[in-house]
Chain A
Amino acid sequence: MAEMKTAKYVRTGVTMPSQHEKVEQPIIALNSDENYGNLGFSVFWECIPAPFEMVSEHHNHDFPQYLCFLGGDGKDMLDLGGEVELTLSEDGKNLEKHVITKATTVYIPAGLYHCPLNFKRVDKPIIFMNIFFAKEYSRNS
């Protein structure tokens, strides 16, 4: 059968390995690149199976970002099943640590300092979803 004209709109199995040894499953990625909408954003889904500190140093970006923490049980994603610590700061000096124990979304506007990000307790896999609105990911320290 000839390839469907609309095949260009569908991507399957787009993954990348995690840089973190605790994350054994591949990261699933949606990248709106020049061949896929060219809208300048990316979404990554990552399965966190065990406690570890994912990012140690606080930083910010020139672009907005969302971080989502969801339970890994598809039938009950509201049950986070763990505890996540995330530090936020508007000025990079007054650091505020948030303790997340429920399914949570975090909006990080451009310039908002964030991290450390610590998956402190993981009773069951946590789905970490990272959405950023830029063609390339980069950090300001």
Chain B
Amino acid sequence: MAELKTVKYIREVPTRPSNHKEVTSPILFIDTHFALQYSKQSKG
């Protein structure tokens, strides 16, 4: 199946480790480049 055109709008949540040893689970975040990158694409 061809890749969906709209797949570029979806990301698995990126993670990074916390700087605090008490925080043992990874930090989940939204990468703001997500928006910047795709807004440039949409302008063609």
Chain A positions within 8 Å of B, measured between CB atoms, are: 64, 66, 68, 70, 74-78, 88-90, 94, 96, 98, 100, 102-109, 112
Q: Is B19 an interface residue (CB 8 A)?
A: no
6 additional A-B residue pairs with CB within 8 Å, beyond A68-B30, A98-B4: A98-B7, A105-B10, A105-B34, A107-B10, A109-B9, A109-B38
Q: Are B28 and A103 in contact (CB under 8 A)?
A: yes
Instruction: Tell me the minimal C-beta distance from A42 to chain B in angstroms.
Output: 15
What would 27 A/B residue contacts be, using CB atoms closer than 8 Å? Answer: A68-B13, A74-B25, A77-B25, A77-B28, A78-B15, A88-B4, A89-B6, A90-B5, A90-B6, A100-B10, A102-B12, A102-B13, A103-B12, A104-B10, A104-B11, A104-B13, A105-B34, A106-B9, A106-B10, A107-B9, A107-B34, A107-B35, A107-B38, A109-B35, A109-B39, A109-B42, A112-B6
Contacts of A94 in B (CB 8 A): 5
> How close is B20's CB to chain A, nearest CB, in angstroms?
15
Residues in B with CB closer than 8 Å to A107 are 9-11, 34-35, 38
The reply on B17 being an interface residue by CB < 8 A is no
Q: In the bound complex, what is the Cα–Cα distance between A35 and B24 (angstroms)?
A: 35
Q: How large, as a class, is the contact surface on chain B?
A: 20 to 34
Q: In the complex, A98→B26 CA distance in Å?
A: 25
- Alpha-carbon distance between A11 and B30 when the two chains are bound, in angstroms: 23
Contact B5 A96 (CB under 8 A): yes
Are A66 and B10 in contact (CB-based, < 8 A)?
no
Interface centre among B7, B10, B24, B28 (most CB of A within 10 A): B10
Distance in angstroms from A94 CB to nearest chain B CB is 7
